[in-house]
Structure 1
Amino acid sequence: MSNSIDKLSNQEIKAILRAADPIIAQGGRALLSKILKGSKDKKVLELELDTCPMYGYYRSETLDNIVKKVDWVIDHDFLAVEYFGKLPMIVYTERGWQIESDQYTDELIDEWREWVKEGKPAPDMTYLKDRDRGMILLMLEKIKEFGDRAFIPYLEAWEKVDYKKVRDEIREVIRVWDQQEEIDGQAKSIREERLYEALDGSAPEDLLLKCRECGERFLFTIGEQQFYKQRRFSLPKRCKECRESGDEYIEY
């Protein structure tokens, strides 16, 4: 998937990750590129992907160039391609999900802020239930730091419908506000530092591995790494010559 695309900006990386969210493990590179293009493709419209906040983000660019940008994000370990049966699907890497969960929680909190401005009562809060637990706890951590007591009706409505761990954290947020405890800003600083590190994607490079049979070093190229990663294969233990001279196998 190598291409000549220059380093993408942090905003572009975030936009591509956000556009990928509704099709994770359900769609591939081509579909993601069509979302970013703002395509009127039948599948895009049938799946209502035109409602994605990043739909049309690269509207003025060619689809071919958008695919190259998506591949850059994959090459730099923000997204990965995994096979579900014979179909290659987009999934988040650990660093990609760290970035996406951070921006998605901000998006959810901004929605609450709009509700407060509009004087909107708490809606059915089950829309937050069964979301990724780590992301939900991150959202509550940010809400605690934000300290807006106008959120309390939403928190109380949420507490009634979610699981115990989330209910406990909601009560903790309200308790801290009620007792006017000082919020330790260290957690926020650490979180922001880790997010910055996650966005600083390093370029892929060939690896030099040691053959367990002959002991010689052999090159494991970027292309080979991507092939093995897509199919969830472990790293090769033997060089090409030793594999060809004996029984070939790949450990899962």
Structure 2
Amino acid sequence: MALETKRLPEADIRAILRAADELIAVGGRTLLAKILKGSREKKVLQLELDDCPVYGYFKGVKLDDVVEKIDWMLDYGFLDIEYSGKLPMIIFTERGWEIERDQMADELLQEWDDWLEAEKRSPDMHYLKDRNRGMILLLLDKVKETDNEKYIPYLKEWKKMDYKKVRAVIRETVQALKSDEPVDLNAARGRNASVQKALRGFEPQDL
């Protein structure tokens, strides 16, 4: 493992977690490293892992050094290993998922911003169905916290095709965006503080 590896910067931690999100419980350290390295290996391309936003993030780094960074993530409690038979698969720890869930919600919201800027109307929202429920509810919280009615058309499209519980939260989000009530950002501040704490990884005394 890589306990002696220099502490990774926040951007690297986030990039590794984002790449890991593409293969949780279906791939191991080496495949994760190949995404981050930008490998053109057949398996990477077959699984369309080259579509990952952080594909090639460590393009100029040796593969063994990328694996060492992943080992650091394992050592400091961002990722873990779960065996499928004899095959070791990468999974998130609670700490790692807290960070990734937050940045994935941000990524989805940014995608909406890009679509709105491109005047994309009535997008197919089926891609949000059956996603992790906690992440979806967080996305809706973030939409609500923007206090911006520009998202309402997308929310209405989404509401047409999702499950009853999600539809109810979408309806509440639309109502909040239409309301003149000031936005309470205390939850957002608490959430951001928690994510920043998670980004520190294990404290030395925990190791």
Give your verdict on TM over 0.5. yes
Aligned to 2:62: 62
From the CA coordinates, give the structure whose radius of gyration is larger.
1
The 8 Å contact of residues 37 and 58 in structure 1, kept in 2 or not, is answered as yes
Structure 1 unaligned regions, length at least 5:
207-221, 223-252
For residues 24-35 of structure 1, what are the structure 2 equivalents within 5 Å? 24-35=24-35
Aligned to 2:77: 77
The 8 Å contact of residues 3 and 75 in structure 2, kept in 1 or not, is answered as no
* Cα distance in 2, alignment partners of residues 147 and 124 from structure 1: 23
The change in CA–CA distance for 1:204 and 1:32 in structure 2 (over 3 A counts) is: farther
* Cα distance in 2, alignment partners of residues 121 and 25 from structure 1: 35
For residues 151-230 of structure 1, what are the structure 2 equivalents within 5 Å? 151-202=151-202
Which is bigger in relative contact order (C-alpha 8 A, separation at least 6)?
A: 2
1:40 positional shift: 1.0
Which ranges of 4 or more aligned residues in structure 1 deviate by more than 3 Å? 203-206
Higher helix share: 2
- Opposite residue 198 of structure 1, the aligned amino acid is A
1:187 positional shift: 0.4
Aligned to 2:149: 149
Say yes or no: does 1:119 pair with 2:113: no
* Cα distance in 2, alignment partners of residues 16 and 32 from structure 1: 8
Size of the aligned set, in residue pairs, is 207
Q: TM-score, normalised by structure 2?
A: 0.96
Q: TM-score, normalised by structure 1?
A: 0.79
SS in 1 for 2:50: helix
SS in 2 for 1:67: helix
SS in 2 for 1:22: coil
- Cα deviation per residue 1:188-211 (whole Å; 9 max; x = unaligned)? 1100010011001125668xxxxx
Aligned to 2:19: 19
* Cα distance in 2, alignment partners of residues 198 and 122 from structure 1: 37
SS in 2 for 1:23: coil
Aligned to 2:131: 131
* Cα distance in 2, alignment partners of residues 177 and 3 from structure 1: 47
Percent identity, aligned pairs only? 54
Aligned to 1:249: none
SS in 2 for 1:81: strand
* Cα distance in 2, alignment partners of residues 61 and 118 from structure 1: 35
Aligned to 1:51: 51
Aligned to 1:4: 4
The change in CA–CA distance for 1:179 and 1:2 in structure 2 (over 3 A counts) is: closer
- Opposite residue 35 of structure 1, the aligned amino acid is I
The change in CA–CA distance for 1:88 and 1:30 in structure 2 (over 3 A counts) is: same
* Cα distance in 2, alignment partners of residues 99 and 90 from structure 1: 16
- Cα deviation per residue 1:42-62 (whole Å; 9 max; x = unaligned)? 111111111111110000010
1:163 positional shift: 1.0
Aligned to 1:101: 101
- Opposite residue 114 of structure 1, the aligned amino acid is D
* Cα distance in 1, alignment partners of residues 167 and 133 from structure 2: 12
- Cα deviation per residue 1:68-113 (whole Å; 9 max; x = unaligned)? 0000001111000110111100000011000001001111000100
Report the aligned-residue RMSD.
Answer: 1.3
1:125 positional shift: 0.7
